[in-house]
Amino acid sequence: MFGAVLPQLWLLSHALGIILDYKCTSLDFLKLYFQLNQESKIMYTILIEAEELLVAIDRPNTIIFDCRHSLTEPDFGIDRYNDNHLPNAVYASMDEHLSQRPNGLNGRHPFPEIQAFIEWLKNCGVNNSTQVVAYDDAGGVYASRLWCLLKWLGHEAVAVLNGGLQNWIESKGVLDREVKQVPEKGNFKPHTKDILVDSQYILKNLKNNDVLIIDARANDRFRGENETIDPIAGHIPGAKNRFFKTNLDDDGKFKSANTLKRSFLELIDDGTDQQVVHQCGSGVTACHNMLAMEVAGIKNSKLYPGSWSEWIADTTRPISTG
């Protein structure tokens, strides 16, 4: 991952460990690497492993966001954050920071108003050079929302902690209860990217074979069965279903890039340049599929933030079941 220089660095660190009668661990190796490469500007843009974060957490201008959330328990995230969190982590509320208030027509978790979101980022100390790391305890489903929001604003240096809080603990990462005090306000400036589509785009392209809608909800909800969240069951006509949890292995980490790529290419028409648009119930788990496609090396997909809950707010829009 770090280039051809790593084998030489490993041998050097191991040799020094022997000379000093000290057992050189992989973590010691990573620390040595970063010490020798403080100016290398290593950037994490998709995922970051717990072992990498154990070292990168001490780098200047790194900000970690705790994105834990529960759809059924409004105070779940903040309560867990107050219990403990990664050192210096800032709490990111799905309802208060990563969404704006729904109005009955824009879905259950509409994207935040852009200026309010930017102001919150700056209040958290985020600059355009900040390495942002997002984590949760649900396989990255909520952390991927912050990842997607920052990608929308053109911020490349944002990554999701692979395996989340559980993998951090398994990797001997420590937890803290102290609430981070932001030393100074950031000066983040957006460079928005064209990664969002609205309901009119979906309606216009329902019969366009060059546009593929991927629905991240559970299979039964996609079929229109066992709908317990939204008032109308079913899916957008022509959409294909890919439950976001299929992106993860048994340890709650993202599957390999090759495995994910093979899986997504089963949905995308072979040999075409289909524009993939992700959606789900409210624009949250769709971000997980979007992130998984990036892990797979499949670029330039888009997000329909309003998703199913916005789509059904207008009863003239068509729906399908089965």
Ranges of each domain in the chain: 1-40, 41-192, 199-311
Tens of pLDDT, residue by residue over 4-32, are 334 334 334 444 443 344 455 555 555 55
Tens of pLDDT, residue by residue over 291-309, are 999 999 999 999 999 999 9
Q: Which fold has domain 41-192?
A: Oxidized Rhodanese; domain 1 (3.40.250)
Q: Given the DSSP bridges, would you call strands 47-48 and 158-161 parallel, antiparallel or unpaired?
A: parallel
Q: Given the DSSP bridges, would you call strands 90-91 and 275-279 parallel, antiparallel or unpaired?
A: unpaired
Hey, do 41-192 and 199-311 end up sharing a CATH topology, with the first three levels equal? yes
38 residue type, one letter: Q
Tens of pLDDT, residue by residue over 151-180, are 999 999 999 999 999 999 999 999 999 998
Among residues 67, 124, 148, 280, which one is catalytic? Answer: 280
- Does the annotation mark 148 as catalytic? no
Please name the residues in contact with 217: beta carbons below 8 A apart, sequence gap of 6 or more: 235, 241, 243, 280, 281, 285, 308
What DSSP line would sit under 218-270, residue for residue? -HHHHHT-S--SSSS--B-TT-EE--GGGGB-TTSSBPPHHHHHHHHHTTSPT
The pLDDT score that the predictor gives to residue 8 is: 39
Q: Write down the pTM of the prediction.
A: 0.88
Structural element, H or E, at residue 65: strand 62-66
Length in residues, the chain: 322
The pLDDT score that the predictor gives to residue 271 is: 60
Q: Does domain 199-311 have CATH number 3.40.250.10?
A: yes
Ramachandran region of residue 125, left (φ > 0), alpha (ψ -120 to 50) or beta? left
